[in-house]
Structure 1
Amino acid sequence: MRFHAVVVSLATTLTTVLAVPGAASAVPKDPAGPSNIIGGTTTRSAPWAAAVLSDGEFTCSGTIISASYVLTAKHCLGGAMSVRVGSVNRTSGGVTRAVTATASRHDLALLKLASPVSTTFMPLADADPPVGSINSIYGWGRTCFSGCAASITLKTATVRVDDTDARDDGGGRALQSTGRSGAAWRGDSGGPEIYNGAQVGVASLADGQTLQIYGSVAANRAWITSVAGV
């Protein structure tokens, strides 16, 4: 797993929350490996959760949005991809499926599964959340800025929406938020930001401290429907 940094207009250096082998401007793999959201709490049940694997290794977080499609981040794409769906443990439980095709737009990606999965799917929002709203984020990203041991359990934290016209790693419209009970970091890429029970964002960029940027689901809603049919 490799990472690359970008500079946004806020003059803050952000990093793709987790990139995969072959990503542009990548830097060497972090020897600590993946772990969980910084702060936050562990999750006991998430039937819609999808751990995204590249060449059999955990690389990103995601959500299953229909029987045959997982939503994640574009910068997670690479290698022979597969997913583990329906388990909060990224190494066991749930069901696994190979990925047979991918589609992407800005920093969002859709993974087509080799065969359908029966589970509870993540609802998708048709509108961005209001500025100031308190949302939940989920992922298997690092539990500290550096030097953490890997954790296998999905975590969640709350964030406050500051802007709904930011830009994700692919230049698409995005949600910018400030961490409250925790923050996204490497490994959380592709994971969801949720408001009122529906996914409003896809993890794209973070500073590993308080700031995170999630690609807007609403801004890409028509594209998602055209590919995945939902």
Structure 2
Amino acid sequence: MMIHHNMLIDIYSTGIEIWLTWLSVALTETFKKAPNFQRDITTFNDAFYNLGKDQFFSFAASIFCLVGFVYSNSLDSARAINGTDDDVDLIVGGTLAAAGEFPFTALLRRSGSFFCGGTLISPSVIMTAAHCLISVPASSTSTLQVTVNTLSASGGTGSEVRSVNKFLLHPNYNSATKQHDIALMALSSPITTVTPVQLPYFSDIGNTFEGQLTAIAGWGTTSSGGSVSSNLLKANVNIVSNSVCRRQYKRGPSIFGIIFSSSFYSTEMMCAAAPGKDTCQGDSGGPLLFGRFQVGITSFGRGCADPNYAGVYTRVTNYLGWISDTQRKILL
């Protein structure tokens, strides 16, 4: 249906206040857990323009995204990672990781600045979240650097540092719904001094791990918009049932078809939570570990350690086939 100019006047007069109110909430609550605001603007753009609406919707989306860009930039300093913070906390509710406890956990830098986590899954391959790399051009791999076997964000004795030759995002990654949030990176040379993390077995496909105690680790912030850590921290969280997570992340109110809250897709995602503990900005791409097995990849959440919302992780068992095939491709 075409929307005529007279209708636009009425819609703007009744709708602009609603847009601005939802904007202040949506931009802070739907950001994924990495300090990369450009990807969030991309997320909103994708969500709007994939609607396939008429010119009015495109125009309205442009205004919305422009205001969102200004708003997100006003928050950028609060979430910027400058590498000089001395706070020893990171993951919300975390404690210091022990030497050798998570040697496969990777710290990712872009142009020298920390921006995400990851894991070493084979001597030459790092697994991370697709949203961490969505804004990195394929021609800019030279700006990426990976460090493993380190507790300190600045590296240190025994740490292994590599550049990145290539990376591949899951072909079906959707920045609006956050589905298929997984990517692999090929390192410039193998890391032979660190044992890679153990991936689940194919026989684990279909296992929800509901109620199981798991571990999270990273160098992210201690609270939403807080400071990042100079040391690797860990915390224990329990896997939340699919039904509970689905209720928490049910689709919220929408305006002209624009959904402001994330949906939970149990095939591709899993949730984990514990009182006062969660991953946060900067932890994206890092591991969710059940014993020695990585069952999840830190993806997104509603704030950090919000008691009403569990953290959401990419369900690794759903991607075992893709991981196996893509490792071969990326190393060619």
TM-score (norm 1): 0.85
What is residue 183 of structure 2 aligned with on the other side? 109
2:222 to 119, 137, 143: 143
- How far the C-alpha of 1:47 sits from its partner, in A, is 1.4
- How far the C-alpha of 1:19 sits from its partner, in A, is 4.9
Looking at structure 2, the residues matched to 31 and 188 of structure 1 have their Cα atoms a distance apart, in angstroms, of: 16
- How far the C-alpha of 1:95 sits from its partner, in A, is 1.4
- How far the C-alpha of 1:170 sits from its partner, in A, is 11
CA contact (8 A) 1:107 1:169 kept: no
Looking at structure 1, the residues matched to 288 and 242 of structure 2 have their Cα atoms a distance apart, in angstroms, of: 13
> For residue 189 of structure 1, what is the amino acid of its counterpart?
S
What is residue 55 of structure 1 aligned with on the other side? 111
Whether 1:218 and 2:317 are equivalent positions in the alignment is yes
Aligned to 1:25, what secondary structure does the other structure show? helix
> For residue 41 of structure 2, what is the amino acid of its counterpart?
S
Aligned-pair identity in percent equals: 27
CA contact (8 A) 1:132 1:162 kept: yes
What is residue 10 of structure 1 aligned with on the other side? none
* Greater strand content: 1
Aligned to 2:146, what secondary structure does the other structure show? strand
Looking at structure 1, the residues matched to 277 and 154 of structure 2 have their Cα atoms a distance apart, in angstroms, of: 23
Residues 144, 196 of structure 1: alpha-carbon distance in 2 compared, 3 angstrom cutoff: same
Aligned to 2:318, what secondary structure does the other structure show? helix
CA contact (8 A) 2:270 2:296 kept: yes
Whether 1:43 and 2:97 are equivalent positions in the alignment is yes
- How far the C-alpha of 1:30 sits from its partner, in A, is 3.7
Looking at structure 1, the residues matched to 219 and 31 of structure 2 have their Cα atoms a distance apart, in angstroms, of: 16
- How far the C-alpha of 1:132 sits from its partner, in A, is 1.1
> For residue 39 of structure 2, what is the amino acid of its counterpart?
A
2:39 to 23, 27, 35: 23
Aligned to 2:321, what secondary structure does the other structure show? helix
- Aligned pairs for 1:27-106 (under 5 A) are 27-28=72-73, 29-34=76-81, 36-45=90-99, 46-77=102-133, 78=136, 80-93=143-156, 94-105=159-170, 106=180
- The count of corresponding residues between Structure 1 and Structure 2 is 220
Larger Rg belongs to: 2
Structure 2, unmatched stretches of 5+, are 1-23, 43-71, 82-88, 171-179, 250-261
Looking at structure 2, the residues matched to 221 and 6 of structure 1 have their Cα atoms a distance apart, in angstroms, of: 36
What is residue 233 of structure 2 aligned with on the other side? 155
Structure 1, unmatched stretches of 5+, are 8-12
Residues 226, 134 of structure 1: alpha-carbon distance in 2 compared, 3 angstrom cutoff: same
> For residue 201 of structure 1, what is the amino acid of its counterpart?
G
